[in-house]
Amino acid sequence: MPSSAKRLPPLLIHVGYHKTGTTWLQRILFRPEYGYRPIMDHEDVFRWFLRPHGLDFDEAATRAHITSLRGQGEPGLVDVISSEILVGNPHFGGRESDAYARRLHAAAPDARILITLREQLRSATSEYMQYISRAGTMKPTEYFDDAPIMGYAKYAPEHLEYHRLIGLYRELFGAENVIVMTQEALAKDGKAYARRLAEAAGVTSPGDLETIDTRPMSPSPEEFAAPILRRINHFRSGPTGPGPFLDLGPVSAFVYRVAHYLSRRPFAKRMLGRVKPVTAIVHRRFTDRYLESNRQLKAMLGDRADLASYPSEPAGKA
């Protein structure tokens, strides 16, 4: 390693997964007052790591660009790149996740990697609701149907076999440089989560974490609203629904926002909160699907991550 590289501050790259508290990390925790300095946003990550075709990715230019961004803040700060798009698009099975891992290693081989997880069945449900929020129109049964048309990718349950991608990052960056945190740990005690991450990331002055706001950010609409929102999306364009039946523009966007807002109101949750059509389908399709992956994940990480809610034995045996 060149002598100049030794003077660079630590670099933490947070790659996702989606719906694991990523917005809270990016908007609340990863700020200078808590010891972090973001050096790229989602658009920058897309431009340098995701947008280039595999035949066009320039390792040297990307490495030089990342190096030029590092160490520009106050002494003692950890530089951060945080973007969940680095694990690939879940709506298309995250099939690019291995390629993005190798691109990151080519650009910043000395980085520490943060991978945030969520129990797979809850994660799959949240991913479908995110799909809806991006104007998707498929029913959950269609979305989770693991039968892609030849040559056209769609959702793949393999994306949530966490041990595989974590194992790849450990091979590339070294096991000691891969940090795994769970959304469950964040929800249980956000301050303890922040303290543990600061220690693992090499933050020397984490600030006053006792005052940090740990409330959830960017919550998805409630499941019971999915059938209504999905039908509104037939009149609303977005990344997962670029060709609506009839695009009503700001009218449909407004109707969607109102329906989303109402689904989050206490009165709606009291009346319909137990109606969980997406969860029911996810459990029917994927219960016991991730047992072997979770067994390998627990063997890999030991007690370094809060994996108590990640089943590794069939229901009734755990």
Q: What's residue 282's pLDDT?
A: 97
Cα distance between residue 95 and residue 153, in whole Å? 8
225-277 per-position pLDDT tens digit:
999 999 999 999 998 888 888 999 999 999 999 999 999 998 988 898 899 99
Percentage of the chain modeled with pLDDT above 70? 97
Whole-number pLDDT of residue 317: 63
Q: Would you say residue 133 has pLDDT above 80?
A: yes
Predicted pLDDT of residue 3 = 45
Verdict on whether the full-model pTM lies above 0.85: yes
Residue 139 pLDDT: 95
- Angstrom distance (rounded) from CA 85 to CA 89: 6
CA distances (Å), origin 268, targets 31, 107, 185, 221, 254: 35, 48, 28, 11, 19
Q: Has residue 318 got a pLDDT over 70?
A: no
**pLDDT number for residue 4:** 45
Give per-residue pLDDT as tens, 1-21: 444 445 789 999 999 999 999
Tokens representing residue 213 in the block: 């706001």
Q: What is the pLDDT of residue 316?
A: 65
Q: Which two tokens stand for residue 84?
A: 């969940």
Give the pLDDT confidence score for residue 82 in this predicted structure. 98
Tokens 């109402």 — which residue? 262
Domains of the chain (ranges, CATH numbers): 9-215+288-301 (3.40.50.300), 223-279 (no CATH)
Q: For the chain, what is the mean pLDDT?
A: 92
- CA–CA gap between residue 54 and residue 145 (Å, rounded): 28
Please say if the pLDDT value at position 90 is more than 80: yes
Tens of pLDDT, residue by residue over 150-191, are 888 889 999 999 999 999 999 999 999 999 999 999 999 999
pLDDT of residue 215: 86
* pLDDT reading at 75 higher than 90: no
- Reported as a single tens digit per residue, the pLDDT across 284-313 is 999 999 999 999 999 999 888 889 999 999
